Structure 1
Amino acid sequence: SVGSFSGSHSQFRSWVFSIAHARIVDDHRRRDRRPETEFTASHDRAQGGSDIFVTSGDPDLEVAMNQLTEEQRSLLHLRFVLELSMKEIARVTDRSEVATRVAIHRCSRRLRELLSHGDMESTVEP
């Protein structure tokens, strides 16, 4: 409960994001039991999101993001959209800071590869 939390602002922020992350993971597990919804700009806007990756208007970026796993998209969102520190992301995702840094580096590298080589399957509707 929020009223019983004692700690610093940074710890509170991490605590809130870890709760949000757990809910996202639960939602993804539920979705995995159903057909997967494409990651699209229209879907993101309908959800009230402001994801920089899809609001950039770059269809190649949107297609590339669809090629990433839910976990990869979540990590990139935490880092580049919500601008959390590596330490905060580590707390939220229950990983070490080193593992978090490596995972985000790999996600970024994969996204860069998809964008530079054009080896993407088109999943964006015209």
Structure 2
Amino acid sequence: MIQIVQMEPGAYRYLKQHGNYADGTMLSLSFYNTQEKPSPAVDGVVQKDLASFEIHILDREKYSDKRAFFLFQNGDNTAGMIPKGNACIDCHEKDAEYDGTFVQFYPVLRDRLLPEGL
């Protein structure tokens, strides 16, 4: 799958200025299936159809765990909050390098937020 993370521009400006996420920051993660033999032919793989997407909300006041995840699948317009104990949430808590987010995979954020820049 190809994964694309997006952040609302105002939240990104706040992050750059303050070095932390503002309460209410929303990250969108889109999961795309891949197409290995596109036409016209290109090197590598390209996006095919959208498989699902997730909204990750960081809000220390609203959520007891400081964050909430909502997974939208199959063209759904609404989604319930993913319960704690889910493998995705456990991975964010265990392996994400910055405040439950995987900035280690994104050079612009990694170099700004992580002490060694990994």
- Whether the TM-score (by the shorter chain) exceeds 0.5 is no
Structure with the higher fraction of residues in helix conformation: 1
Higher percent of residues as strand: 2
Higher relative contact order (CA 8 A, sep 6+): 1
> Scaled by the length of structure 1, what TM-score is found?
0.28
TM-score by length of 2: 0.29
